[in-house]
Amino acid sequence: MSSEFLILVDENDQQWGKMEKLKVHQLGLLHRAFSIFIFNSEGKVLLQQRAADKYHSANLWSNTCCSHPHFGETLAQATKRRLQEEMGMDCPITFAFKFIYKVDFSNGLCEYECDHVYFGYSDDLPQTNPLEVQGYKYVEINELREDLSKNTENYTEWLNICFDRIISHQGKRQKSA
């Protein structure tokens, strides 16, 4: 894990400090993060399978891209950077909602995040970074809902936590289109 600095926030998402990434996860401090969900023209969501060497949630299926903005970096800069670094993609994204969650992992690390969720739309195929991603697939939302209920352990905690809000937001978007 590199020595990047994350943005520490309070429960109102107000920045109050910075700290090195590993230390933040060891101490379980609330920090700013983001998750990106890319949908194609068929309405399928692009999932990635996290690389085997990730420091937590390795090999699990998750949303298209997720990470943290670096200290001094805006969410707009961070989302564009990481979508390119992880998935080799560049497409417009829009903010959908944010939520706070906390998960303790068996290796002693903790994710305590104020997660900003973004949606994007693209039919481009990803050019994945093998250090970050070991696989990807497009999945219909109903198929994903069914598999999440049967095989929760195959997916990241944050995907399980926010899935219902993803469905709700997508439904609102489709009604307004």
Domain ranges for the chain: 5-176
Looking at residues 3-23, what average pLDDT do you find?
95
DSSP state for residue 2 in the 8-state scheme = -
Greatest alpha-carbon pair distance for the chain in Å reads: 45
15 vs 170, residue with greater confidence:
15
Confidence class for position 109, pLDDT limits 50, 70, 90: very high
Which residues are the active-site residues?
A: 66, 113
pLDDT at 50: 96
pLDDT at 3: 73
| Closest C-alpha to 50, from 124, 139, 154 | 154
What would the pLDDT profile of 24-35 be if each residue is shown by its tens digit?
Answer: 999 999 999 999
169 vs 132, residue with greater confidence:
132
Q: Are 35 and 116 in contact (CB under 8 A)?
A: yes
Q: Into which CATH architecture does domain 5-176 fall?
A: Alpha-Beta Complex (3.90)
pLDDT at 172: 55
Element (H, E) at 77: helix 75-87
Give the span between the Cα atoms of 69 and 86, in whole angstroms: 14
User: Does residue 172 come out as left (phi exceeding 0), alpha (psi in the -120 to 50 range) or beta?
Assistant: alpha
pLDDT at 36: 97
Low-confidence winner among 54-63, 82-91, 102-111, 162-171 (lowest mean pLDDT): 162-171
What would the pLDDT profile of 147-158 be if each residue is shown by its tens digit?
Answer: 999 999 999 999
Report the relative pairing of strands 65-67 and 110-121 from DSSP bridges.
Answer: unpaired
